[in-house]
Amino acid sequence: MCAVVEPHGGTTVASGPGMESYFKNVRRLLEDVRALRDLPCVTIDLAGPCAYANNPYYAEMVRRFYRTTRRRHPRLWVVRDHTHGVALCHLDGGLQDYPSQVEASARRNARKAQRKGYRFDLLDYNADLEQVRVVAGSKAVRQGALPEGYDLLQPHNNPASRSPLHDYRYFGVFREERLAAYGEVMIAGELAMVTHVLGHGDHMGDGVVPMTLLGMAERIAADHPQTRFLGYGTFFGAGPGLRRFKKKHGFIPHRVRWEWAGSLAHSSTVDRAA
């Protein structure tokens, strides 16, 4: 709080848009602290040792992610990164589990996209790279400004995965063979983490992003039945708009205990692709 000294010796409390923003941020911080105390707690097995039987690319992918969960949080140094406030929804119930966690408005938007002739499918990222660049560069500002050069994306060199336990998947929403939205998902044991989801600025009102998220959840539950959680980054580090978006699409903050080698890693019941 800022006090201004008046000429006659009294004081008045400063006000204005700056102070309103300050108090709004303080209130949000206090709400976050209260929410942190009541977070649902889950354990997620990354099945790290199993990745070594796959292509080395995937062993490094899951090892790199696990390292981020062991380091200290950049701002809250008393806790580890990616442990408090991880935005998750549950896939334990299979194909029907995710839609039940999504708000009705998001489901309606996805159906709207379907009525307008959009379809969800796998994305051949390298073959459709030019269209990916168009989608990525179609809006200068989304939830914050896009990084410089985001529309100059390069081809990936991800090798084909030999196991459903670890993979990196690309998906898209198309209309008349033109890409309208795309998403990328890292598969690591029981976790499927959305790393990117973007819609073309001209098609956002048609519900292409909800269609992408719902389609990805359905495809992952079918192709990677060991996954128990669909994640989308963290919750408390996001701004109000992105928080609302995540909550609307079923991503609720959790406290996570990460396992490098849990029961999934030691199980022999998971079929591996030849």
Q: What is the pLDDT of residues 14-35, one digit of tens each?
A: 556 666 666 555 566 556 556 6
Whether residue 255 is contained in a domain is answered as yes
Whether residue 246 is contained in a domain is answered as yes
- Whether the Cβ atoms of residue 116 and residue 99 lie closer than 8 Å to each other: no
42 vs 88: CA distance, rounded Å: 10
Instruction: Domain of residue 77: give its range.
Output: 41-266
Whether residue 119 is contained in a domain is answered as yes
Whether residue 231 is contained in a domain is answered as yes
Question: Are 253 and 192 within one domain?
Answer: yes
Whether residue 271 is contained in a domain is answered as no
Model pLDDT, residue 262: 83
Model pLDDT, residue 273: 37
Question: Are 13 and 52 within one domain?
Answer: no
Whether residue 272 is contained in a domain is answered as no
Model pLDDT, residue 128: 96
Q: What is the pLDDT of residues 107-128, one digit of tens each?
A: 999 999 999 999 999 999 999 9
66 vs 22: CA distance, rounded Å: 36
Whether residue 71 is contained in a domain is answered as yes
Question: Are 7 and 85 within one domain?
Answer: no
Question: Are 133 and 152 within one domain?
Answer: yes
CATH code at 83? 3.40.630.30
**% residues pLDDT > 70 (the chain):** 73
Question: Are 114 and 204 within one domain?
Answer: yes
pLDDT confidence band for 236 (50 / 70 / 90): confident
- Whether the Cβ atoms of residue 236 and residue 44 lie closer than 8 Å to each other: no
**% residues pLDDT > 90 (the chain):** 59
Q: What is the pLDDT of residues 200-214, one digit of tens each?
A: 999 999 999 999 999
Question: Are 30 and 163 within one domain?
Answer: no
- Whether the Cβ atoms of residue 83 and residue 256 lie closer than 8 Å to each other: yes
Question: Are 62 and 25 within one domain?
Answer: no
Model pLDDT, residue 241: 86
Strand pairing class (252-259; 84-90) = antiparallel
Question: Are 231 and 163 within one domain?
Answer: yes
- Whether the Cβ atoms of residue 4 and residue 11 lie closer than 8 Å to each other: yes
Model pLDDT, residue 123: 98
Model pLDDT, residue 205: 95
Question: Are 56 and 21 within one domain?
Answer: no
76 vs 96, residue with greater confidence:
96
Question: Are 30 and 56 within one domain?
Answer: no
Question: Are 82 and 193 within one domain?
Answer: yes
Model pLDDT, residue 151: 55
Count how many Cα atoms sit within 13 Å of the Cα of residue 5 in the half-sphere of its side chain.
2
- Evaluate if residue 63 carries a pLDDT over 90: yes
Question: Are 215 and 121 within one domain?
Answer: yes
Closest among 243, 233, 231, 234 to 28, alpha carbons compared: 243
Whether residue 273 is contained in a domain is answered as no
Tell me how many domains the chain contains: 2
Task: Give the distance, in angstroms, between the CA of residue 162 and the centroid of all CA atoms in the same chain.
Answer: 24
Q: What is the pLDDT of residues 91-104, one digit of tens each?
A: 986 666 788 899 99
Q: How many CB atoms lie within 10 A of CB 111?
A: 14
In whole numbers, what is the pLDDT of the chain averaged over residues? 83
Model pLDDT, residue 269: 40
Strand partners, 194: 185
Model pLDDT, residue 83: 84
